[in-house]
Structure 1
Amino acid sequence: MWIILAHKRMRTVTNYLLFNLALSDASMASFNTLVNLVSGLHGDWYFGEGYCKFHNFFPVAAVFASIYSMAAIAMDRYMAIIHPLKPRLSASVTKGVCACVWVMAVTLALPLCVFSTVRVMPHKSACHIAWPRGHADMVMYHILLGLLVYLVPLSIMGVAYSRVALILWGAEIPGDSSENYHQQLLAKRKVVKMMVVVVVTFALCWLPYHLYFLLTGLSPRLTRWRPIQQLYLAVIWLAMSSTMYNPIIYCCLNNR
């Protein structure tokens, strides 16, 4: 984030969107990961009702911001490579796109903030979501979440990057064998490779999370299965770990 803000030459459309992606990853790592670990290991909630609302609300907002930033990057790469003669987004419009991503993220996650509460039980307390119609609302929300925060954006990115790959790795332009052309082609391929790795990593980390809540929502008896707590912790750990991979991917696949 600092590299993009501190160096003028790094303030490109793609990098502004990468900044937004990094901001959502850093936010989740800072505010939620440690709290998840402590409450998961102890089976108790120590952090009060205010943080309970924030804790349930913010990860969904951050994930939404992450994946729609990735979708925006995919569309930016698509327009730059498939329609290179069309005008690119300006810096101010890109900042507006980033702001819209966060507004949509907060709106989608708002029900989790509204209905979160701390339930006090003998010897422990739990941060949970008290849906107005109980189990039915929970199932509907997680199906909606799986569609809007996972399947739909991943499908958009899959189509965009497939088209881009056909152009970049397909037949080269006949008669254009200049060194400059080949350097530009390699540079474009590098950026697309990097973003495809980012998207695939995100998809693999969050797939078990969405499957877990979908399956336990549709079949509540699974929650009585003895190893379910360990499975839940593993699923949460994998999802939270997605916030640490992107800087490693940038470092390995982009010399700049």
Structure 2
Amino acid sequence: MRRMHRSVTNIFLLNVAVSDILITVLNIPFNLVRVLSEEWPFGSLMCSVIPFIQVAAVYSASWTMVCIAVDRLIVTVYPLRPRMPIHTGIALVILVWTFSILGALPYALIHQTVTAISFTTSIRCIAIFPPPEVTYRRYLSLITFLFQFCIPLSITGICYGKISQKLWFSHNFFSVNTGLLNGGFLSVQNAGLIIRNRQRSIKMLILVVVVFATCWLPISVYHLRRDFEDLNGPTSHSIFLFLLLHWTAMSSTCYSPFIYCCWNSCYRSQARIIYGFLCFCLPKTSAKELRQQVTIRGLVVRFRGNTRDTAGSDELGNPSQNGMKSFNWDSVVGTREMLSFHEGHRTYRTA
């Protein structure tokens, strides 16, 4: 991971990506076999492991989104507080996975292989609950629905609601940073641009959460309704409906990369480098182009690729002073801006 990208938010996003990969690689093909086939050919161990990993991965993704929302809330609403250190973010990821494993452990214990005898003898992977079976099934389904879906998404929604109120509806968002404005380093135009960049990053994160919730809500409600209805009734289970809802839930793993590429230019640049090695038809981004950016206490500043020292106008259309390099605020990932910094013998400022 590049040094400029070692932020707590990116650690959390990486953890969400790991959860998506686990769901994609280990759950989709095995679950299709379990539902469509009359035979479970993968043994008793995989019968317990596959449901366990699926539940744990969804737990991890939903609670990691909570961590992202809380981190963004602290950064936006309390900008003068110290940023969350990297080791704290790693500790939170470990805590999230510990909770996810505990929440998914019952699914590993109840799934077993059984021998089904009808016209032929076959081995199947099913969930076997201890007596009273209906009560345990309903308790587990309700607890999973609450802690895997409702509670984390409610916390996430509250956090992003407060962030949106601060970014879009607060007229004194920069009141805590009036010293920066009065100090002459930050113009009103640049301040507005920083706000817009933060709004863009928050929109991206909100979109990720909305897509996740939209994909997983139908299958969650389906499981909850099935377990609380008469299990022997004619509508208790439909293979076609289950496959449709299951496919919708699994499809959530493929949307996030497209969202990041569309909304985050740094992610897009890195993706072009990675996929450029795999596909020669894609335009490649050079390492020199990526070096045209710096990170100052969480603030990413990307220099114009075609601009060196200039006495013309900057990215905002303002005249550059004293031959200073012009640049734009491409991606703002923090709120503790240092608006004057040094690179060798040069000094860069925003005005």
Name the residue aligned to 1:147.
Answer: 146
Give the alignment partner of residue 51 of structure 2, picking from 56, 81, 84: 56
Greater displacement, 24-33 / 226-235: 226-235
Name the residue aligned to 1:77.
Answer: 72
Task: Report the CA distance between 1:125 and its aligned residue.
Answer: 2.8
Number of positions where the alignment pairs a residue of Structure 1 with one of Structure 2: 251
Name the residue aligned to 1:239.
Answer: 249
More strand by share: 2
1:162 maps onto 2:185 in alignment: no
CA contact (8 A) 2:59 2:148 kept: yes
Name the residue aligned to 2:277.
Answer: none
- Provide runs of 4+ in structure 1 moved above 4 Å: 174-177
Name the residue aligned to 2:20.
Answer: 25
The correspondence of residues 168-207 of structure 1 with structure 2, limited to 5 A, is 168-173=167-172, 178-207=188-217
The correspondence of residues 42-121 of structure 1 with structure 2, limited to 5 A, is 42-121=37-116
TM-aligned CA distance change 1:129 to 1:227, over 3 Å: closer
Task: Report the CA distance between 1:220 and its aligned residue.
Answer: 2.4
CA contact (8 A) 2:130 2:136 kept: yes
Greater displacement, 218-227 / 63-72: 218-227
Could you say which structure has the larger radius of gyration?
2
Which amino acid in structure 2 is aligned with residue 72 of structure 1? C
CA contact (8 A) 1:45 1:125 kept: yes
CA contact (8 A) 2:12 2:67 kept: yes
CA contact (8 A) 2:141 2:224 kept: yes
TM-aligned CA distance change 1:9 to 1:105, over 3 Å: same
In 1, the alpha carbon distance for the partners of 2:89 and 2:135 equals 38
1:137 maps onto 2:129 in alignment: no
In 2, the alpha carbon distance for the partners of 1:40 and 1:157 equals 33
Greater displacement, 56-65 / 217-226: 217-226
1:41 maps onto 2:36 in alignment: yes
CA contact (8 A) 1:39 1:46 kept: no
Q: Report SS of the residue matched to 2:113.
A: strand
TM-aligned CA distance change 1:43 to 1:195, over 3 Å: farther
Unaligned runs of 5+ in 2: 182-186, 267-351
CA contact (8 A) 2:229 2:236 kept: no
More helix by share: 1
Q: TM-score, normalised on structure 1? A: 0.92
CA RMSD, aligned part only?
Answer: 1.8
Q: Report SS of the residue matched to 1:224.
A: coil
In 2, the alpha carbon distance for the partners of 1:162 and 1:131 equals 40
Greater displacement, 176-185 / 155-164: 176-185
What's the % identity of the aligned pairs? 31
Task: Report the CA distance between 1:167 and its aligned residue.
Answer: 1.1
In 2, the alpha carbon distance for the partners of 1:221 and 1:138 equals 10
Which protein has greater RCO, CA pairs closer than 8 Å, 6+ apart? 1
Name the residue aligned to 1:8.
Answer: 3
Unaligned runs of 5+ in 1: none
CA deviations 1:131-166 (Å, max 9, x no partner) are: 112121011001001110111111111111011101
